[in-house]
Amino acid sequence: MKIVVIGGTGLIGSQVVTMLGEHGHEAVAASPSSGVNTLTGEGLAEAFAGADVVVDVSNSPSFADADVMNFFTVSTTNMLEAEKAAGVKHHVALSIVGAARLPKSGYLRAKVAQEKLIEGSGVPYSIVEATQFFEFVTRIADSATVDGVVTLPHGYFQPIAAVDVATVVARTAAHDPLNGRLEIAGPEAFPMDDFIRTALGRTVETGPDAEYFGTTLEGRELAAGEGAELSTLTYEEWAARA
């Protein structure tokens, strides 16, 4: 199959392109660096000509609330319109476990808006919802650091290796549309503050008002729900390999 990977130069996208190619598919990486811009629509019609599947693993360059909402709504609308025109038979998108449970976060609101556009588009689809990547843990800590002290909530998250996310995204793209969601998560859930303290050796404070990207966490909102597919690679094993 011809499978276009929007965001195919990114952390997840580059691995998805490689995996699909290894399974005999014609996997095409598409992003601004190859002349395909989902925000402006540039290059979409050409990229989607003859494509069976479009995988969207792009990300907003800016995480500011308005920018990220604009990115995921405009990009998704442009892609879905171009897919309909080109006769694409499957749209696969990567979203985030628990996004709908945390509406105070601008980033997560934008991911929910992205999911709704896909569900209402009429294009057959699969939404893979993943938990936070091991590779993203340092950015979580850095974004919550003031004067060398990290402030994060005590609520749980359940991080996963990007390679395990890419494996599921590639597998999903090669199969029939789910017309629904699939959740994937790492093997263990941890309180976020404890995890950053232990895994990164940072000084971490917490409290009822501590936020993760604009939202408090009360409990297990970011952790896997029932029926989620769990990977086996632990953070310790991943860190030892890295």
Ligand X SMILES: NC(=O)c1ccc[n+]([C@@H]2O[C@H](COP(=O)([O-])OP(=O)(O)OC[C@H]3O[C@@H](n4cnc5c(N)ncnc54)[C@H](OP(=O)(O)O)[C@@H]3O)[C@@H](O)[C@H]2O)c1
Positions touching ligand X (CB under 6 A) are 6-7, 9-13, 31-33, 36-39, 57-59, 61, 94, 96, 111, 130, 132-133, 136
User: Cβ 182 to ligand X, closest distance in Å?
Assistant: 13
Residue among 31 and 231 whose Cβ is closer to ligand X: 31
Q: Which residue is nearest to ligand X (CB)?
A: 10
Q: What angle do CA 125, 94, 204 make, to 5 degrees?
A: 155
C-alpha 160 chain-centroid distance: 11
| Beta carbon nearer to ligand X, 207 or 239 | 239
Least distance CB 129 / ligand X (angstroms): 7
Closest contact distance (angstroms) between CB of 102 and ligand X is: 13
- The position carrying tokens 């936020």 is 211
Nearer to ligand X, 90 or 186 (CB): 186
Tokens (6 digits) for 47: 């990229």
98: phi > 0 → left, psi -120 to 50 → alpha, else beta; which? left
Shortest gap between Cβ of 6 and ligand X (angstroms)? Answer: 5
- What is the closest distance, in whole angstroms, from the C-beta atom of residue 147 to ligand X in the complex? 25
Minimum CB–partner distance for residue 74 and ligand X (Å): 9
Concatenating the DSSP letter of every residue in 139-204 gives HHHHHTEETTEEE--S-EE--B-HHHHHHHHHHHHTS---SEEEEEE-S--EEHHHHHHHHH---E
**Would you say 125 or 133 has its CB closer to ligand X?**
133
**Alpha helices per DSSP H over 44-131:** 44-48, 65-86, 106-119
Nearer to ligand X, 47 or 148 (CB): 47
Copy the structure tokens of residue 134: 């091991």
Residue holding tokens 């404890």? Answer: 194
Nearest to ligand X of 17, 24 (CB atom):
17
Q: Tokens in use for 158?
A: 């359940």
Angle made by CA atoms 166, 143, 205, in degrees to the nearest 5 = 115
CA-based nearest residue to 162, from 188, 193, 184, 177? 184
